[in-house]
C-alpha cells in the first residue's frame, strides 16, 4: 500500500514538473513573440520617421527652387535699360564684335539712337537720329558715346558703362543692309547684358 502511494506521489510530482516546464516554455514563447513584435514596431516607427524626414527635406528643396524661380522671374520682369547722352572722352578699352543686318526702310532703336538705312544703287543712305550720311561698302559710321544703365528689381544695378558703336558697311542683300558692329565699352560687360541694348530686328551675331 505504501508503495502504491509512493508511486502515485512520484507520478503526481512528475506531472507537476512537466506542467511547470510546459508553462515555462509557453512563457518563453510569449516573451519571444512580444520581443519580435516590439522590434517590428520599432522598425516601422523608424521607417515612418525617415519617410517624414525625407518628405520634409524634399519640401524644403522644392521651396528653395520655387523661391529662386520667383526671384529670377521678378528680376527679368523688372529689367530696366536707360540710355543717356554723355560728353565723349572716357576710355573704351573693351570691345565686343557682332555681325548685324538692318532691315531697309525701318526705323530701329539701338539704345536711344534711331537708325534707318536705305540702299540706292551702290550706296547706302544711313540716317542716325536725323543725321544722314551716304556709305559705300567698307565705309564706317559711328554712333557717338552714350551711357547705359541696366537695373533690376528697382535697386540692383547690373550694368553701368559708357559705350560707343562703330558700324562698317558690308553691302546689301535681300532687303537688308549688313554691317560689322563693334561695341566699345568703358567697362567689361557680359554679352548677355550687352545684348539688351541691341534690338532683335538687327539679328546681332558674335564674331
pLDDT tens profile 129-172? 999 999 999 999 999 999 999 998 888 888 899 999 999 999 99
Domain ranges of the chain: 1-77, 80-206
The pTM (predicted TM-score) of the whole model is 0.65
For residue 28, name the pLDDT band (cuts at 50, 70, 90): confident
pLDDT at 103 over 80: yes
Dihedral of CA atoms 198, 200, 203, 204 in degrees, nearest 10, equals 20
Strand intervals (E) in 17-89: 80-85
Quote the pLDDT of residue 3. Answer: 60
Rounded-to-integer distance, Cα 101 and Cα 174, Å:
11
Q: Pick the closest to residue 113 from 95, 102, 129 (CA basis).
A: 129
Considering only CA atoms, which of 94, 136, 133, 95 is closest in space to residue 115?
Answer: 133
Does residue 51 or residue 171 have the better pLDDT?
A: 171
- Residue 164 and residue 147: Cα distance in Å, rounded? 9
Q: Cell numbers at residue 2, please?
A: 505504501
User: What is the C-alpha radius of gyration for the chain, rounded to an integer number of angstroms?
Assistant: 43
Most confident of 46-50, 87-91, 163-167: 163-167
The answer to whether the beta carbons of residues 188 and 117 sit under 8 Å apart is no
Cell triple for 206: 558674335
Amino acid at each position: 500500500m505504501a508503495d502504491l502511494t509512493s508511486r502515485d506521489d512520484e507520478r503526481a510530482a512528475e506531472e507537476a514538473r512537466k506542467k511547470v516546464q510546459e508553462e515555462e516554455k509557453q512563457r518563453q514563447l510569449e516573451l519571444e513573440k512580444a520581443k519580435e513584435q516590439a522590434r517590428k514596431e520599432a522598425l516601422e516607427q523608424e521607417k515612418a520617421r525617415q519617410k517624414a524626414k525625407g518628405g520634409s527635406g524634399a519640401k524644403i528643396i522644392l521651396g528653395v527652387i520655387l523661391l529662386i524661380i520667383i526671384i529670377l522671374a521678378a528680376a527679368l520682369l523688372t529689367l530696366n535699360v536707360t540710355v543717356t547722352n554723355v560728353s565723349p572722352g572716357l576710355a573704351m578699352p573693351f570691345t565686343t564684335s557682332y555681325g548685324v543686318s538692318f532691315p531697309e526702310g525701318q526705323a530701329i532703336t539701338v539704345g536711344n539712337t534711331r537708325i534707318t538705312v536705305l540702299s540706292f544703287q551702290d550706296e547706302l543712305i544711313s540716317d542716325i537720329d536725323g543725321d544722314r550720311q551716304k556709305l559705300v561698302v567698307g565705309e564706317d559710321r559711328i554712333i557717338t558715346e552714350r551711357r547705359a544703365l541696366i537695373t533690376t528689381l528697382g535697386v540692383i544695378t547690373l550694368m553701368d558703362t559708357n559705350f560707343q558703336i562703330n558700324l562698317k558697311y558690308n553691302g546689301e542683300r535681300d532687303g537688308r543692309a549688313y554691317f560689322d558692329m563693334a561695341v566699345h565699352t568703358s567697362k567689361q560687360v557680359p554679352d548677355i547684358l550687352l545684348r539688351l541694348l541691341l534690338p532683335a530686328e538687327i539679328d546681332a551675331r558674335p564674331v
